[in-house]
């Protein structure tokens, strides 16, 4: 099987980002010709990109092209439960065997800074993304990272974050702070628990926002 072209991968990454950020909404139709015009590329790489996104479960085929997948209530719960397990293990591994520079990279994101609760929600989303990526990098387990890539934060996007109250944002930041504290102490048990609790709290908020 031939490898996807660079244009196909670039198109996939652009569309994936728009889906995850909420620019492309659930059930929104995705017509290759229209997307090709917007992305200023030919239809072939866009069509191939849509098939790749379908294999990831982010889009579904329709009679005329594709549409952004709308996850059911139970699917959202399943995804977050898997993420809680993966994030918890990553935090444990990072705490127990992450190198000093790798741990410092997590802390340098400053995702546990209290004042973030008053920041633009886009900043909170971006910090959250960098924070969790840094934890998986510190864990040093590529297979775990690839598994997590199949269960990324499809729901904590700009659209959802805009609906967060300051109190909900503060709770998310507090979760980051607890993970940071556990990593500083190299406490694997505490890091795993803090990471799992943080993801499950995010699930609770997300379900309220998607009602």
Q: Which residues contact 126 (CB under 8 A, 6 or more apart)?
A: none
Q: What is the pLDDT of residues 184-204, one digit of tens each?
A: 999 999 999 999 999 999 999
- pTM for this structure? 0.83
- From CA 203, how far away is CA 207, in angstroms rounded? 6
**pLDDT of res. 56:** 84
Does any domain span residue 142?
yes
CATH code (residue 43): 1.10.10.10
Q: What does the mean pLDDT of the chain come to? A: 90
H or E stretch including 193?
helix 188-209
Query: Cβ-count burial of 54 within 10 angstroms (0-12 exposed, 13-18 middle, 19+ buried)?
Result: middle
Alpha-helical regions (H) of 140-187:
142-149, 158-161, 166-185
Residues 149 and 189 in one domain: yes
Of 124, 109, 209, 203, give the one whose Cα is nearest residue 169: 124
Contact between 136 and 90 (Cβ < 8 Å): yes
- From CA 154, how far away is CA 158, in angstroms rounded? 10
Mean pLDDT of 69-84: 89
Q: What is the pLDDT of residues 112-147, one digit of tens each?
A: 999 998 888 889 888 998 999 999 999 999 999 888
Contact between 164 and 95 (Cβ < 8 Å): no
Proportion of the chain above pLDDT 90, given as a percent: 64
**pLDDT of res. 23:** 84
Q: Which residues contact 123 (CB under 8 A, 6 or more apart)?
A: 116
- From CA 167, how far away is CA 141, in angstroms rounded? 34
**pLDDT of res. 68:** 93
CATH code (residue 118): 1.20.120.530
Residues 126 and 158 in one domain: yes
**pLDDT of res. 154:** 60
Confidence band (pLDDT; 50, 70, 90) for 150?
low
**pLDDT of res. 210:** 76
- From CA 146, how far away is CA 140, in angstroms rounded? 12
Q: What is the pLDDT of residues 168-189, one digit of tens each?
A: 999 999 999 999 999 999 999 9
Does any domain span residue 1?
no
DSSP 8-class letter at 24: S
Residues 30 and 81 in one domain: no
Query: Which residue did the predictor score with more confidence, 181 or 148?
Result: 181
Residue 152 has pLDDT above 70, yes or no: no
Confidence band (pLDDT; 50, 70, 90) for 208?
confident
Q: What is the pLDDT of residues 21-42, one digit of tens each?
A: 778 888 999 999 999 999 899 9
- Beta strand ranges found along the chain (DSSP E): 29-30, 59-62, 65-68
Residues 93 and 117 in one domain: yes
What is the span of the domain harbouring residue 189?
A: 73-209
């Amino acid at each position: 099987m031939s490898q996807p072209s660079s244009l196909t991968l670039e198109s996939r990454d652009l569309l994936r980002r728009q889906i995850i950020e909420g620019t492309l909404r659930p059930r929104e139709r995705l017509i290759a010709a229209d997307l090709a015009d917007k992305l200023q590329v030919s239809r072939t790489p866009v069509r191939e990109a849509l098939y790749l996104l379908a294999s990831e479960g982010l889009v579904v085929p329709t009679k005329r092209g594709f549409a952004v997948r709308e996850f059911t209530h139970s699917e959202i719960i399943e995804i977050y439960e898997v993420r809680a397990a993966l994030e918890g293990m990553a935090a444990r591994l990072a705490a127990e065997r992450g190198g000093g520079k790798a741990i410092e990279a997590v802390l340098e994101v400053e995702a546990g800074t209290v004042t973030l609760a008053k920041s633009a929600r886009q900043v909170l989303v971006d910090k959250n993304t960098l924070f969790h990526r840094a934890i998986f990098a510190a864990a040093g387990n590529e297979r775990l990272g690839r598994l997590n890539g199949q269960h990324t934060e499809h729901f904590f996007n700009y659209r959802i974050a805009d609906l967060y109250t300051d109190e909900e944002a503060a709770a998310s930041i507090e979760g980051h702070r607890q993970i940071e504290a556990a990593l500083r102490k190299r406490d694997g048990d505490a890091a795993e628990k803090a990471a799992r609790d943080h993801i499950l709290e995010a699930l609770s908020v997300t379900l309220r926002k998607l009602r």
